[in-house]
Amino acid sequence: MSPLDFNPNDYSEIPYAVYSDEDLYKQEQAQVFQGRAWNFLALEIELPKPGDFKTMFVGDTPVIVIRDNNGNINAMVNRCAHRGNLVCIEDHGNLEHLTCVYHNWTYDLEGNLSSIAFEKGIQGEGGMASDFDKSCHALEKLSVETFCGLVFGSFSENMPSLIEYFGPEMCKNIQRLLGRKIELLGRFQHGLDGNWKLYMENVRDTYHASLLHSFMTTFRLNRLSMKGAVEVSEGGLHHLTYSIRTQDNDQGQYDATEIRASKDDYTLNSPELLESWPEFECGTTLAIQSLFPNFSIQQLSNVLTLRLIVPKGPHKSELTWWVLGAAEDTPEQRAMRIRQSNLIGPGGYIAMEDGAVVGWVRRGVKGAEKKKSVLAMGGRDIERKSNSRCNELAVRGFWQGWHNLMEG
């Protein structure tokens, strides 16, 4: 039985083989990461000047993201058209042109081949074949679009615009968080001991936080009783879950020095960690959004983060975090954001547990490829919105979107 043989229109039972099957992983590279999807590449502010570049991965494929002399951001596969060598070895920097160190094939900042060492040979001997045409040997290029300072790329030539791809509900939250001048406060990167899809399931799992993350409930950052909702885009590709901490749901603006657990007498030695301010008129204090395939945006109180989970084979993945602030922040607000960033990242008081669970699930399902997980909390349907966060609606939506792409 193939791991793609889901029950028709029912994504509440998922074969464990989807996390380990080698052939499925290879198919994923073609159908998902190089298929009809927009993949997150960079923040515009990471590339402020012409020639600024960074290297990263779209699935398994190495990619260069670079700003050209016209101010446009381009993306191309980090693979020389000559012999397949990496063109850019460094993680980031600034270049006037792209040159492969192996044989000095040189490309402009749009990825076009501009020169070749010894193209005409030496002393009339050797050189490239007479029919060789440099214009036919550019670096493989991705389509690139930006939205609210986020840069996305796609290998597909016939993609809808980013706004169409995300849909109005998803765009509204992106604009709420990032539709202003943003600054980069820091970045984390670390490995995870499991398949990338395990982490994306976790991002979309709206009710584990009240169980796994005892810090959140102990110090009243999030409870399922709070006002909130789950929204899923058409076709299941993207999701948004949010909640609002207010007085009438036992989540008011507390004096951090008086915060106590509901059952245990836990306190914080540094209660200023949880100091916050009402940043958004809508009152949202927690928002987690995933954009298919492997990108997410998160607001937890006033700490704003981006997350990208990159596959490193069926059993490993790599997670990058970007911690953001607003250019308009006061010094006091900036300090609050930085303190709150202790909640996230590889050693975060909350996020550390998500990374651990990915590895535990990988170990738990080993040898159980013919068995299935159960995603029936809140029913088996994939409705577009639920006012209850006690469900697995968004996880089922992820599998609907993934399955549709994998089936072509």
Transcribe 6-55 into DSSP letters.
PPTT--SEEEGGGGT-HHHHHHHIIIIITTS--EEEEEGGG--STTEEEE
Distance in angstroms (rounded) separating the CA atoms of residues 325 and 136 = 43
Say what the pLDDT of residue 130 is: 92
Say what the pLDDT of residue 254 is: 36
Mean local confidence (pLDDT), 8-20: 89
Report whether 317 contacts 197 (CB < 8 A): no
Say what the pLDDT of residue 216 is: 67
What is the SS3 assignment for 175? helix
- CATH 3.90.380.10-classified regions of the chain: 166-407
H/E stretch holding 403 reads helix 393-407
pLDDT single digits (tens) 89-121: 999 999 999 999 999 999 999 999 999 999 999
- Check whether 225 has a pLDDT greater than 80: no
Mean local confidence (pLDDT), 285-298: 96
Distance in angstroms (rounded) separating the CA atoms of residues 359 and 198 = 9
Say if domain 39-146 classifies as CATH 3.40.50.720. no
Highest mean pLDDT among 166-175, 207-216, 220-229, 237-246: 166-175
- Region of poorest pLDDT, from 29-38, 204-213, 302-311: 204-213
- Check whether 54 has a pLDDT greater than 80: yes
Q: Phi/psi zone of residue 392: left (φ > 0), alpha (ψ -120 to 50 degrees), beta?
A: alpha
Q: pLDDT higher for 366 or 349?
A: 366
- Check whether 4 has a pLDDT greater than 90: no
Q: What is the chain's mean pLDDT, rounded?
A: 90
Assign domain 166-407 one CATH number from 3.40.630.10, 3.60.20.10, 3.40.50.720, 3.90.380.10.
3.90.380.10
Say what the pLDDT of residue 390 is: 74
- Check whether 377 has a pLDDT greater than 90: no
- Check whether 245 has a pLDDT greater than 60: yes
pLDDT single digits (tens) 379-397: 888 877 777 777 899 999 9
Mean local confidence (pLDDT), 215-239: 79
- Check whether 349 has a pLDDT greater than 70: yes
Mean local confidence (pLDDT), 41-59: 98
Highest mean pLDDT among 4-13, 164-173, 236-245: 164-173
Mean local confidence (pLDDT), 279-293: 94
Say what the pLDDT of residue 331 is: 97
Closest CA to 46 of 143, 187, 190: 187
Binned at pLDDT 50, 70 and 90, residue 259 comes out as very low
- CATH 2.102.10.10-classified regions of the chain: 39-146
Say what the pLDDT of residue 221 is: 67
By CB neighbour count within 10 A (0-12 exposed, 13-18 middle, 19+ buried), where does 170 fall? buried
Binned at pLDDT 50, 70 and 90, residue 258 comes out as very low
